[in-house]
Structure 1
Amino acid sequence: MAAEAPRESSRSRYCPLCEAVYESGDTCPVDGATLVIEAQADPLLGSVIGDAYQIESFIGSGGMGRVYRGTQLSLDRPVAIKVMRLERSADPAMVRRFLREVRLSSRLDHPNIVRVIDGGNTREGRCYLIMELLEGVTLGDYVPEGGLRWEEVRELFGQLCSGVQAFHRAGLVHRDLKPNNVLLVDDGDGGRRVKIFDFGLARDLDPDTTGLTAEGEFLGTPGYVAPEQMSSGEVTLQTDVYALGAVLYFMLTKRSAFPGKTGPAVVMNQLAGNSAELRIGAQGVPRGLDAVMARALELDIEDRFDSVEALIEALIGVDQDMPRRERSGLGPWLDTGKIAATRGGASKQRAPLSRRAVLMGLGGLGAAIGMGVGVAIQLRSKPIRLGMSGALSGPAGGVGRGVAEGLEVRFAQANEAGELGRGRPIELEVLDDGYESERARANVERFAKDKLAVVGCVGTRTTAASLELVNAAGLPMIGSHSGARHLRHDPPDRYVFNYRAGYGREAQALVQHFRRREKIPPTGFAVLAQDDSYGESGLDGIRRALAADGFHDFDAIQVARYPSNTMDVHAALEAVSARSQVQVVLLVAAYRAAAQFVADLSRLDDAPRCAGISPIAGKLFVDELRALGGNPEGMLITQVVPHPESSANGVLRYREALAAHRPGATPSFVSLEGYIVGDMVVEALRRSGRSDDREALVEALESFDAVDFGFGARLSFSASDHQGSERVWATRIDAAGRLLDFELS
């Protein structure tokens, strides 16, 4: 018995105008066109196209072609493959339009774009386009009955506007923006990422470019295509502004902005300027939004917003008028954070994100992120997450708190001023490690999972414990509060960038000063050194300075060590006091241990003078020493930043930020260093333009060439040099315990 022929009603149909696919029916309910029945057999399944891509299974179809799931054979990578219909391939105009889509797609590449990998035509005449394969849902399917809540509309519409902006900057107009040409995919962080696609109608703004639309042919989607596009074929940036206004209305209502049961009826209302009631009464929608949409949908192009930027500015204006109680997140609406996938009314049914969008491959372009006001409406689509591990408690706790303070006020300043765009706030998480190696490593291991970088980490042995992890994870470590050698390899570790001069450089500066100005002999020095790599780094600098003067018998120098992370300096005191020829003790120590040593030493007859390097932390050291009954007057302390009370441009900025964000806080060398590191980070983030790309951040830092933040030391980095400053300043403590500027020899 012969097999029964398949019933025609079981075969899918497509609309040759709007390219929608239907399982039944004779005419398209949108524009009234007669539906075309899909061919039953598919000879392309299992074939290899372009000698590189195997076609494996059918995804969907439209008026221009069919879309398949496939594999790029050379990389074993899944791809989407769009193949033009054979009957369309016989039409030279359609072939030019298809190949033009391939050409246009090569001009754009961004995370908000359905990325095009390849394209062309075969010897048999079939045209094809190869794209990344994405799982997602269209905006048309995602919007629930009644529309989305305003908070979620802002997030998604902001991404859409940014994409369209970038398309315009490339000199192109999309001409077919609509909900079903916007794909939403999982961004990997609990939210949705917009992907604009189907740029088959995209057109150059260049007036010399020949259009491909045949005379009398209508291309576009009723309800979204601009009136001038339908009547005269004219396209400008405002053509897409019109479509954006219609998409915004749909997102809020799940209805067309123009009434009509058929496509022709909708078009007639568009050309007559008869829009639907644009008043949106949903709770949380700002007053004035209806007027913004009405202007975007003006019939006369001269009355419409002249750019996407102007539309965004108008939206920002009406949204900032919302009562504070209706704003979500941590403050003004521009800082509300990413809208999670469950926001916008969890009780409403949504198309699941894992659903494959049939229209996935019906285009292949998108747009880059907008700059300036273009990203403002994105509402912190991705905060910039940074981490800091430092001693907030224990003998070095004051240093960790000071560095954190400087970083926090710099980042607060950047966020408040929108230095990185209103949609990219910096978030800093600070964890206490108590200056303990294992705790520091655990903190950094945690940061490696979700932070862009670690900044301002405090301590030599703690950064040493984390260094292997930092390099293995590709986690940038920027501006650590340590001058140790392990952070200054030659050539440098790719992910380690330093602001401050090394401990050795500071120690050298002190030795050179005493040798040249006061003629102290080499054996007149003694050293209090913390028993770890911090102490060794300082000792190395002292050795180098003495060797430069021809002295190599370093064993003749009294080196007294004390246990790290303690104040146990008694044995060191005895060792130094036993050497009568000692005139100056160089302190390579933490501030509390140094204060204990100096206090005890000062009680001896004919006690030698002391001088220290920056980790003894200036004011913290002075306060600790005076509390112990010691007198710091006359001591020299090197610094790696200018005086926090100076009038340098950068220092003035620092004090202004400190007063604004930490009222009552006292300027200090430690927090100033944190602020300068914050300056480095903000500038690198500005250059990279990314919130989650570590490699882009590294490349941005390596592009620094004599960057001047106004602190007296220009910063430069390169692939072979990750040391920002070698500048050493000095201070002298007066009778009142103040640290005054001092010129070293």
Structure 2
Amino acid sequence: MSGPDSMVGAVLNGKWRLLRLLGEGGMGAVFAAEGVNGEGRRAIKILHPEYVNEPQILQRFFAEAYAAQQLQHPNVAKVYEHAQAEDSSPYLVMELLEGIPLSEYVQPGKAIPVAQAAPIVYGVLQALMAAHAQNIVHRDLKPDNIFLVPDQTGRYTVKVLDFGIAKVMDAAGGMGSKTRTGMMLGTPGYMSPEQIKNAKGVDHRSDLWSVGVMFYEMVTGGEAFEAPTDFAKLTAVLTNDPRPISQVAPHLVGWQDFFNRAIAREPDGRFASADDMARVLLATARALAGAAPLPTAEFRTVEVGKGGATRESGPQPLGREGTHVSPQMPTGVGSPSVAPPSVQVLGPSDGLSATMKSGDSPRVVVQQVNGIKPVFVALIALGCLVVGFVAGVATTWAAFAF
């Protein structure tokens, strides 16, 4: 059977020409594509042919694709459309991004300053606010799914990828021998304890746990749950807590309460919502920087309506009519003075930015964070089957193979 490479040059439905293969995973392949009628360049995910005749997979694929299309937010990679090709293969047309995943942005074993990491986390939380408002839980947040897109000024916009894909994987997981080796149901080290126990029983707080782990690893330079094997890592998540931040990075002792809640083993011990977590993140950063606590009026929530329309609610900050005033993430927050690249977080706050100058080009950072890589595994942990997969990584595409 011919592979995805053979599809390069093909035109889907007389509209999208596939330019090059960007990556391949357990269920499909991702291509860079271009609209033949001037629609511009996009990333297109195409389901592998063997799933075309599986009603359960197709139903879940189209349901999640439709939900993803409704999720319109500056910190979420856009899904423009979904359809079936002439051979009935389902596909998604997505935003093609120029940038790097967080897994390449952070050098293995090296911590980055809170002033650099916190705006990235804030951007992810902005995306989750919009997603959770529509009852969309990501379920596979990890550094590979957080994309940083630079602009001409050297700032980076945070983009979260692959909303809904985990549910498609879950549907395929019930197909037994028909599923490909390496089907992904989660990534050890970033799966919450409740997701390991029961992948179908998670809620939005599972996403918040994953964000907490990524933040912890960014500012400490080490794995939250260090273990020699994936099985041991899953066991550690279920039975252990990360080393206190006060021990791993004493200069960040002021963040201990935040991490206690962010990575609490029990969901009830975590932040109640992405909005709650974002508020405490910014308030902690301000407090540790010596600034006055951020007034409630400077926070706004966003309500995502039909067709992706947004409406802000809550007290509005003062500013020129028709403009928004964004709270600024203070620099030097509980960390050594470093001049990292700046990060622009677009969302309800219209551009929360770290006030930092651009550093070295991030394209020279090419290794995975802390040595963590999705791997082919088949594990049974406390009665739960957890499988990871390997996907190719490129610096110029919108979403990884699934």
TM-score normalised by structure 2 residue count: 0.68
Structure 2 partner of 1:278: 245
Is residue 350 of structure 1 aligned with residue 365 of structure 2? yes
Between the aligned partners of 1:213 and 1:41, the Cα distance in structure 2 is 20
Measured at CA, do residues 307 and 203 of structure 1 come closer, stay the same or move farther in structure 2, by a change above 3 Å? farther
Specify the code of the residue in structure 1 equivalent to 2:141. Answer: L
- Quote the residue 2:224 is aligned against: 257
Moved over 4 A (4+): 38-41, 213-218, 280-283, 345-349
Aligned to 1:101: 64
In structure 2, runs of 5+ residues without a counterpart are: 177-182, 292-326, 332-352, 368-392
CA distance in 1, matches of 2:134, 2:83: 22
Residue among 4, 16, 19 paired with 1:53: 16
**For residues 472-483 of structure 1, what are the structure 2 equivalents within 5 Å?**
none
What does the per-residue CA deviation read over 1:413-435, in whole Å, with 9 as the maximum and x for residues that have no partner? Answer: xxxxxxxxxxxxxxxxxxxxxxx
* SS of alignment partner, residue 44 of structure 2: strand
**What is the aligned partner in structure 1 of residue 41 from structure 2?**
78
The alignment partner of 2:288 has SS state of coil
> Aligned with 2:43: secondary structure?
strand
1:187-244: CA deviation from partner (whole Å, max 9, x where unpaired): 333211111101234669xxxxxx8475699722111111112213212221111111
8 Å CA contact 1:173–1:202 kept in 2: the answer is no
| Paired residues for 1:297-696 under 5 Å | 297-322=263-288, 324=290, 334=329, 337-340=353-356, 342=358, 350-351=365-366, 356-357=394-395, 360-362=398-400
CA distance in 1, matches of 2:329, 2:122: 11
Give the SS at the match of 1:129.
Answer: strand
Q: Which residue of 2 aligns with 1:132?
A: 95
CA 1:180 to 1:273, structure 2 compared with 1: closer, same or farther past 3 Å? same
Q: Rate the CA distance shift 1:254–1:60 in 2: closer, same or farther, 3 A.
A: farther
1:726 equivalent in structure 2: none
Q: Is residue 222–residue 266 contact of structure 1 (8 Å, CA) maintained in 2? A: yes
Task: Say if 1:242 and 1:359 are closer, same or farther in 2 by CA, change over 3 A.
Answer: farther
Output the CA distance in 1 between the equivalents of 2:222 and 2:164: 25
1:246 aligned to which of 200, 213, 219: 213
Q: Displacement of 1:123 after TM fit?
A: 4.1
Q: Distance in 1 between matches of 2:149 and 2:106?
A: 14
Q: Matches of 2:362 and 2:142 in 1, distance apart?
A: 25
Query: Which residue type is aligned with residue 261 of structure 2?
Result: R
Give the match for residue 193 of structure 2. Answer: 227
1:455 is matched with none
User: Match of 1:299, SS?
Assistant: coil
Tell me, what secondary structure is at the counterpart of 1:164? helix
Q: Which has the larger radius of gyration?
A: 1
- Specify whether residues 335 and 361 from structure 1 end up closer, same or farther in structure 2 by C-alpha distance, changes over 3 A only: closer
- Asked if the contact 1:144–1:348 (Cα under 8 Å) also holds between the matched residues in 2, the reply is no
- Give the partner amino acid of 1:114: A
- Distance verdict in 2 for CA 1:91–1:149, change over 3 Å: same
Q: Look up the match of 1:193.
A: 157
**Quick one: which of 101, 104, 113 aligns to 2:76?**
113
Do 1:175 and 1:240's aligned partners in 2 also have CA atoms closer than 8 Å? yes
Secondary structure, counterpart of 1:275 in structure 2:
coil
**CA displacement, residues 385-427 of structure 1 (integer Å, 9 cap, x when unaligned):** xxxxxxxxxxxxxxxxxxxxxxxxxxxxxxxxxxxxxxxxxxx
In structure 1, C-alpha distance between the alignment counterparts of 2:290 and 2:69, rounded to whole Å: 44
Shift, 1:111, TM fit: 2.3
- Asked whether 1:150 is paired with 2:114, we answer yes
Indicate the residue corresponding to 1:268 in structure 2.
Answer: 235
Using structure 1 for the length normalisation, give the TM-score: 0.38
Change (3 A) 1:194 1:244: same
Alpha-carbon distance in 2 for matches of 1:197, 1:218 = 15
**Post-superposition CA distance 1:698-718 (Å, at most 9, x none):** xxxxxxxxxxxxxxxxxxxxx
Asked whether 1:159 is paired with 2:123, we answer: yes
In 1: Cα distance, 2:166 partner to 2:231 partner: 23
Report what 2:262 is aligned to.
Answer: 296
1:61 partner amino acid: E
Look up the equivalent residue of 1:220 and give its one-letter code. G
What residue number does 1:722 align with?
none
Question: Structure 2 counterpart of 1:253, which letter?
Answer: T
Measure, in 2, the Cα distance between the counterparts of 1:243 and 1:202. Answer: 14
Q: Over residues 540-593 of structure 1, what are the superposed CA-to-partner deviations in whole Å (9 max), with x where a residue is unaligned?
A: xxxxxxxxxxxxxxxxxxxxxxxxxxxxxxxxxxxxxxxxxxxxxxxxxxxxxx
Query: Is the 1:287–1:318 Cα contact (8 Å) retained in structure 2?
Result: no
- Alpha carbons 1:152, 1:339 under 8 Å: kept: no
Distance in structure 1 (CA, Å) of the matches to 2:152 and 2:362:
23
The Cα of 1:184 is off from its aligned counterpart by 0.5
- The residue correspondences of 1:162-177 to structure 2 (distance < 5 A) are 162-177=126-141
Contact 2:30 2:400 in 1 (8 A): yes
Amino acid at match of 1:357: T
Q: Deviations over 1:606-644 (max 9, x none)?
A: xxxxxxxxxxxxxxxxxxxxxxxxxxxxxxxxxxxxxxx
| 1:349 Cα offset (Å) | 5.8
> C-alpha displacement at 1:97, in angstroms?
3.1
Identity across the alignment (%): 27
Cα RMSD, aligned residues only: 3.3
Deviations 1:250-283 (A, max 9, x none): 2223433112122221111111134345336558
Partners of 1:126 and 1:347 in 2: how far apart?
36
- For 1:347 and 1:141, the matched residues in 2 are separated by 8
SS of equivalent to 2:226? coil
Q: Where does structure 1 lack aligned partners over 5 or more consecutive residues? A: 1-37, 205-210, 326-331, 365-745
Instruction: Name the stretch that deviates more: 306-315 or 139-148.
Output: 306-315
Number of aligned pairs? 311
1:432-491 deviation per Cα after TM superposition (whole angstroms, max 9, x unaligned)? xxxxxxxxxxxxxxxxxxxxxxxxxxxxxxxxxxxxxxxxxxxxxxxxxxxxxxxxxxxx
